[in-house]
Amino acid sequence: EAATASLETTAADLARAEAALAETKERATRAEQGAAESARESAARLEQLGDARARESASAREELARAAATVCAVIDFEAVLIDGGFPEQVRASLVERVRAGLDRVDLRGLIPPRIEAGAVGGNARGLGAACAPIFAQFLLNTHSGFTTG
């Protein structure tokens, strides 16, 4: 009888272990499916973000090219510099895209400007602030109070 009871206890323990194993496998399968679905959702979001960035990039390219052409319609600038406090590779990419965008702008009657990368970068704000006292001392004041009315 003791051996039979021990055998029944072992069989019950084995059945519980098998049930726990089956439940763990089920959870793992659901987790894998959830991870796969999450990965698909993440990939879709990244694709949407890439599409949005591509649209913004195309818009920036077109608007900067149009702005360059508009400015050169008033004054014949030899070149338009693109500069700012952003990484060099971003600046170089933007210059190339604006050059390509300028080919799509109506430049009839205009001398097409060269589109070049500037070299001041993130220091522009500080350099401008440092020049303010020099401008105030030695340049003409274009806001000297001539008003109409």
Higher pLDDT, 54 or 59: 59
Q: What is the pLDDT of residue 80?
A: 92
Q: What is the pLDDT of residue 21?
A: 84
Whether 145 shows a pLDDT value over 60: the answer reads no
Q: What is the pLDDT of residues 110-144, one digit of tens each?
A: 999 999 998 888 887 788 888 888 888 888 776 65
Whether 149 shows a pLDDT value over 60: the answer reads no
Q: What is the pLDDT of residue 96?
A: 92
Q: What is the pLDDT of residues 2-54, one digit of tens each?
A: 666 676 777 777 888 888 888 888 888 887 777 777 777 777 776 776 666 66
Whether 99 shows a pLDDT value over 90: the answer reads yes
For every residue of the chain, which 3-state class applies, written as one string?
Answer: CHHHHHHHHHHHHHHHHHHHHHHHHHHHHHHHHHHHHHHHHHHHHHHHHHHHHHHHHHHHHHHHHHHHHHHHHHCCCCEEEECCCCCHHHHHHHHHHHHHHHCCCCCCCCCCCEEEECCCHHHHHHHHHHHHHHHHHHCCCCCCCCCCC
